[in-house]
Amino acid sequence: MAFQFTDANFQETAIDNKGITVVDFWAQWCGPCRAITPIIEELSTTYDGKALIGKVDVDDNAELSAKFGIRSIPTILIMKDGEVVDTIVGAPSKQALIDKIEAQLVAA
């Protein structure tokens, strides 16, 4: 299951994380967000131990959304060692997301 990032745990789980972190900013009422949820869930299992993959509910975590300037959802941030290295706005294909994660793992 994908990790649940919150305003309270984001610093220690994503910013302070050494390695790759994938953060999906989403909302329950967003159709495209719900459409990619199975992809996020599957990749969180596939990359377990290699990358931390999780979700941020923008309605419950306004502080994080504001901090990263999230204006459209879904927005997916790919972070490396706590720094944003790639941003995807909109619903990517599974392969597009895999390609971006793999690119960061190779560069690690």
In a domain, residue 105? The reply is no
Total structural domains in the chain?
1
33 tagged catalytic: yes
Residue 103 has pLDDT above 80, yes or no: yes
In a domain, residue 108? The reply is no
Which one of the listed residues 2, 30, 36, 76 is annotated catalytic?
30
Q: What is the pLDDT of residues 20-79, one digit of tens each?
A: 999 999 999 999 999 999 999 999 999 999 999 999 999 999 999 999 999 999 999 999
Q: In what order do the strands lie in the sheet with 3-4?
A: 3-4, 51-57, 20-26, 75-80, 83-89
* Structural tokens at position 38: 């199975």
30 tagged catalytic: yes
Domain residue limits at 46: 3-100
d(CA 41, CA 4): 11
Which one of the listed residues 2, 20, 23, 33 is annotated catalytic?
33
Residue 8 has pLDDT above 80, yes or no: yes
In a domain, residue 81? The reply is yes
